[in-house]
């Protein structure tokens, strides 16, 4: 794929730029080796995995490498899952400005995940195809893991003897906040009524009857089923960690603790196989059952100069699952507690709101890097008169604040309002303009 065939003298400016870029590569202490395995047993043929180890933040620079591990669990067909698998990564990457340092790139990722998920959903719906998909999309760059998720597949991390949940559960049954959001946006949430008004099954939203509150696709369900991902970003400590990503075929049967316990001391490949087999053994193969296991091993750990610290036992000891938000003071407050080891998994970012104004309005230090006159979702160039502020509210159109970016093109603005229950979006539009 690389096309580095140029030779001859290199201009000084280019050399300086290359030197500069070298500084943006993964710092030595942040480098990690990845070992992974996957296994699946298929019932409906609607689970898909996507694994790509050779992605590059800087084109043609293998040292700016990052990796992607994702599971797409389709429903009502597999088209949405396949479409998302084929397009999501490039839609995410196209929402990240070029020439960023590694740190800037990592801070841009949460917002780019939102843009990429929404664009993928919008483009898929325009195809006029039915079906929907959950997405659990994991990006590993050195020791930083970023996860964007919609639906009920799950990514969990075990590090230093604790389990960390990196994805959200968008099952209506499990998520009261999402029930409130769907209801406020014009959906109805309830169970199936059988004769005699007995209610059965999990909570679903109507019209459509989907059990999930977020997905990619699902054109035949209300717009309040949104593709806006929950995003979580964490930084591993020097001990690394093991990541398990599975579709609900596994999680309907096994708890996260069980999955890690079953896989202990196994290679990632053997672990993935074991987890799927255990899940299928309990209830039989009732759903597509898919598992990816990734070991993230710091390079320093591979070639230790000092003996490794004894492994902590005691799997039952859970931390507060990142309840503690990182603030300027957090490091000192950590020291205040009798916590002598600052080297733990650190939460960098977490946001799950479905509100685009909140998700796209960046407060990252790179706020000025995003191009002003590009649609923040589909990356289409906007003429100065075209963009609609993401903060604009159709019902108060007299109060537009035209300079409060980021901006959306008319089509994306229409989709945003539809998702928030403010108007009906014409699906399957035949217009090809973007």
- In whole angstroms, how far apart are CA 75 and each of 2, 125, 216? 37, 15, 10
Comparing CB distances to Zn ion, the nearer of 95 and 409 is 409
Q: Name beta bridge partners: 146.
A: 139, 233
Hunting for tokens 């800087």 — which residue is that?
58
Among 112, 210, 375, 392, binds Zn ion (CB under 5 A): 375
352: tokens are: 């799950």
List binders of Zn ion among 411-430 (CB under 5 A).
Answer: 412
List binders of Zn ion among 47-66 (CB under 5 A).
Answer: none
Stretch that binds Zn ion, among 129-137, 265-273, 305-313, 401-409 (CB under 5 A): 401-409
300: tokens are: 């320093």
Comparing CB distances to Zn ion, the nearer of 144 and 412 is 412
Stretch that binds Zn ion, among 74-82, 109-117, 274-282, 376-384 (CB under 5 A): 376-384
Hunting for tokens 């946006």 — which residue is that?
185
The candidate with the shortest Cα–Cα distance to 42, out of 76, 68, 74, 80, is: 74
Comparing CB distances to Zn ion, the nearer of 203 and 412 is 412
Stretch that binds Zn ion, among 24-32, 205-213, 298-306, 403-411 (CB under 5 A): 403-411
Stretch that binds Zn ion, among 42-50, 220-228, 251-259, 372-380 (CB under 5 A): 372-380
Comparing CB distances to Zn ion, the nearer of 293 and 374 is 374
Please state, in angstroms and rounded to a whole number, the distance separating the CA atoms of residues 242 and 159. 7
Please state, in angstroms and rounded to a whole number, the distance separating the CA atoms of residues 102 and 320. 29
| DSSP three-state, residue 255 | coil
Comparing CB distances to Zn ion, the nearer of 156 and 409 is 409
Comparing CB distances to Zn ion, the nearer of 286 and 371 is 371
270, 37 in Cβ contact below 8 A? yes
Comparing CB distances to Zn ion, the nearer of 145 and 354 is 354
Minimum distance from residue 380 beta carbon to Zn ion (Å): 5
Give the count of residues interacting with Zn ion (CB under 5 A). Answer: 5
Stretch that binds Zn ion, among 174-182, 238-246, 269-277, 369-377 (CB under 5 A): 369-377
Instruction: Please tell me whether residue 114 binds Zn ion under the rule CB under 5 A.
Output: no
Instruction: Please tell me whether residue 81 binds Zn ion under the rule CB under 5 A.
Output: no
Number of neighbouring beta carbons within 10 Å of residue 132 = 30
Stretch that binds Zn ion, among 7-15, 224-232, 368-376, 384-392 (CB under 5 A): 368-376
Binding mask 326-365 for Zn ion (x = CB under 5 A): ----------------------------------------
Instruction: Please tell me whether residue 378 binds Zn ion under the rule CB under 5 A.
Output: yes
Q: Name beta bridge partners: 411.
A: none
User: Angle at CA 250, nearest 5°, toward 264 and 201?
Assistant: 150
The candidate with the shortest Cα–Cα distance to 401, out of 370, 361, 434, 363, is: 361
**H or E element: which one contains 120?**
helix 102-126
Instruction: Please tell me whether residue 409 binds Zn ion under the rule CB under 5 A.
Output: yes
Stretch that binds Zn ion, among 129-137, 371-379, 393-401, 416-424 (CB under 5 A): 371-379
In sequence order, the 6+-apart residues with CB closer than 8 A to the CB of 322 are 164, 232, 234, 347, 350
Please state, in angstroms and rounded to a whole number, the distance separating the CA atoms of residues 364 and 78. 36
User: Angle at CA 236, nearest 5°, toward 300 and 33?
Assistant: 45
Comparing CB distances to Zn ion, the nearer of 94 and 267 is 94
Among 377, 388, 390, 392, binds Zn ion (CB under 5 A): 377
Comparing CB distances to Zn ion, the nearer of 253 and 378 is 378
- For 335-397, the DSSP string reads HHTT-----S-EEEEEE----HHHHHS--STTTTTS-TTBBTTT--B--TTT-EETT--GGGG
The contact set with Zn ion (CB under 5 A) reads 375, 377-378, 409, 412
């Amino acid at each position: 794929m690389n096309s580095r065939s140029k030779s001859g003298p290199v201009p000084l400016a280019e050399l300086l730029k290359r030197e500069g870029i070298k500084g943006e590569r993964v710092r030595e202490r942040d480098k990690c080796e990845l070992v992974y395995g996957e296994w699946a047993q298929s019932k409906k043929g609607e689970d898909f995995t996507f694994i790509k180890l050779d992605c590059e933040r800087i084109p043609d620079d293998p040292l700016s490498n990052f990796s992607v591990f994702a599971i797409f669990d389709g429903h009502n067909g597999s088209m949405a899952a396949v479409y998302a698998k084929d397009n999501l990564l490039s839609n995410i990457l196209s929402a990240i400005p070029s020439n960023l340092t590694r740190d800037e790139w990592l801070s841009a990722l949460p917002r780019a995940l939102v843009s990429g998920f929404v664009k993928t959903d919008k483009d898929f719906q325009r195809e006029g195809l039915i079906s929907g998909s959950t997405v659990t999309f994991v990006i590993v760059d050195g020791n930083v893991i970023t996860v964007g998720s919609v639906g009920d597949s799950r990514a969990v991390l075990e590090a230093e003897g604790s389990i960390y949940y990196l994805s959200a559960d968008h099952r209506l049954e499990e998520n009261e906040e999402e029930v409130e959001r769907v209801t406020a946006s014009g959906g109805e949430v309830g169970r199936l009524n059988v004769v005699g008004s007995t209610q059965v099954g999990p909570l679903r939203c109507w019209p459509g009857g989907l059990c999930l509150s977020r997905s990619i696709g699902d054109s035949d369900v209300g717009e309040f089923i949104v593709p806006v991902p929950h995003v979580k970003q964490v930084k591993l400590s020097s001990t690394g960690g093991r990541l398990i990503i599975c579709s609900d075929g596994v999680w309907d049967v096994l708890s996260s603790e069980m999955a890690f316990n079953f896989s202990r001391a196994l290679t990632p490949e053997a672990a993935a196989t074991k987890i799927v087999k255990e899940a299928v053994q309990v209830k039989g193969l009732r759903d597509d059952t898919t598992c990816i296991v990734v070991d993230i091993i710091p390079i320093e750990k591979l070639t230790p100069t000092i003996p490794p610290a004894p492994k902590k036992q005691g799997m039952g000891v859970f931390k507060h699952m990142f309840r503690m938000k990182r603030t300027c003071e957090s490091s000192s407050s950590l020291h205040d507690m009798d916590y002598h080891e600052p080297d733990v998994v650190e939460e960098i970012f977490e946001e799950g709101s479905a509100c685009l104004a909140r998700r796209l309005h960046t407060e990252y230090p790179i706020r000025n890097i995003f191009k002003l006159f590009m649609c923040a979702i589909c990356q289409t160039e906007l003429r100065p008169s075209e963009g609609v502020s993401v903060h604009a509210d159709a019902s108060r159109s007299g109060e537009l604040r035209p300079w409060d970016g980021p901006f959306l093109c008319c089509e994306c603005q229409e989709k945003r309002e539809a998702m928030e229950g403010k108007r009906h979006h014409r699906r399957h539009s035949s217009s090809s303009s973007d």
